[in-house]
Amino acid sequence: MINRIRDIRKAKGLTLAELAEACNPPTTAQTIGRLETGMRNLSIKWMDRIGAALGVDPESLVRSDANAQAQVVAILAAGGAEALEKPREAVLPTNLAAQSSDQPHMVLSINESVGEYRPGDMLWLRQLAPEQAPDAINRDCLVPRPGGRFAFGRLIDRRETLVGLLPPGSGQKQQVVDNPAWIAVAVMLVRPL
């Protein structure tokens, strides 16, 4: 089993001390650090306390080595979708975790206001095979391009091996991708308040 406390804590922007203080009853940053690194056993009692402090299901604090996890694979900036140097694990919201899928979810992190998206938004996507493109027509999609790049926008057309996307920014031209390996369709937008 893999302990995910550190990943979830960092995804929520908390320090060790802030998480320790949020626990009921409060604990020390050193104790949280030891639980994160495995220097101290993560009991059910600790999982319940830390899960409540983080606002997540206690079960999400650990995962099996065999399970594929959703990854933040790209960011959306004014110039379009850009690949990350190194993908990072995304914290799966509770209501999306219940959905079953053969493919793990992906996440597009929004860094700048583009169309209806705001900085800090996390767009969760479900991967489809290219032949399932008709299911994604008129929905926002992320599509891989050659050279480790991505195209993002509203899927407006699919003809044979070509996929047409209309980027969310105003005045941008349609992007056409030939024979993408997959299409990831947006299933949920997570916007911090």
User: For 21-53, how does the pLDDT look when each residue is reduced to its tens digit (9 = 90+)?
Assistant: 999 999 999 999 999 888 888 888 998 899 889
What is the total count of domains within the chain?
A: 2
Q: Which of 47, 63, 79 is the last residue of a domain?
A: 63
Q: What is the CATH number of the domain that holds 25?
A: 1.10.260.40
Do residue 43 and residue 120 come from a single domain? no
Strands 71-77 and 80-89: antiparallel
- Are residues 17 and 33 both part of a single domain? yes
The phi, psi pair for 99, rounded to 5°, reads: -75, 135
In the chain, the amino acid numbered 125 is: L
- pTM to 2 decimal places: 0.55
50 and 114 inside one domain: no
Residue 17 has pLDDT above 80, yes or no: yes
Same domain for 117 and 167, yes or no, is: yes
Residue 171 has pLDDT above 50, yes or no: yes
Rounded Cα distance between 146 and 185, Å, is 19
Q: Are residues 57 and 75 in the same domain?
A: no
Q: In sequence order, what are the residues at sequence separation of 6 or more whose Cβ sits closer than 8 angstroms to the Cβ of residue 145? A: 151, 177, 180
Domain span holding position 136: 71-190
